[in-house]
Structure 1
Amino acid sequence: MIRWKLPLLLMAILGYLQYSLWYGKNNIYDYQDNVKMLANLHEENNQLKARNEQMFAEINDLQRGVEAIEERARSHLGMVKPNEYYYRIIIDTSSQKR
């Protein structure tokens, strides 16, 4: 009588464990989704770290050097030195599209 109950019990336990693994809470699919999400977050974090390092380098350059401040003033504000001429070339894009 025990001979056929033990294998049946073990098969029932194995079936339950397999069901939990594939379809239960925190199943294998959830795990794979979490691994992909974690990889995406690591990539985004690395990009943000690189951007922050670039910003800190620019801040240090602006605090220590006059050349960086001068370049910023020229490109963003259009400032020029005394006895220096600034030419701005504007291309008419409306005539080129026709």
Structure 2
Amino acid sequence: MFSSHRCQEGDTLHSLARAYNVPLPILEAMNTHLPAANPITPGSVVHIPRMDTMFCQKVYWEQPVPASYSSPTIPRIGPRYNRPSASYNGFYSC
């Protein structure tokens, strides 16, 4: 289900995506008949999908970690007690 938009001078897929509140990748996928040239030729018909009838899901791609990335250090909270002479047997008394 979609509506049609007849393009005018200066229209781009990016401007139409903003005007119709449609994610650009979805608009590109719906309009494979258009050439990759940007701006679109005046008079071309762009199919605008109805977002209320679509089921979308996000896809996450794994990418290698850049060499310049360093893992964040986690600050230690509170003092740390190291008393090797005092053993803990599971019982605490005051």
TM-score by length of 1: 0.17
User: Which has a greater percent of helix?
Assistant: 1
Structure with higher RCO (Cα < 8 A, 6+ apart)? 2
User: Which has a greater percent of strand?
Assistant: 2
Which structure would you say has the larger Rg? 1
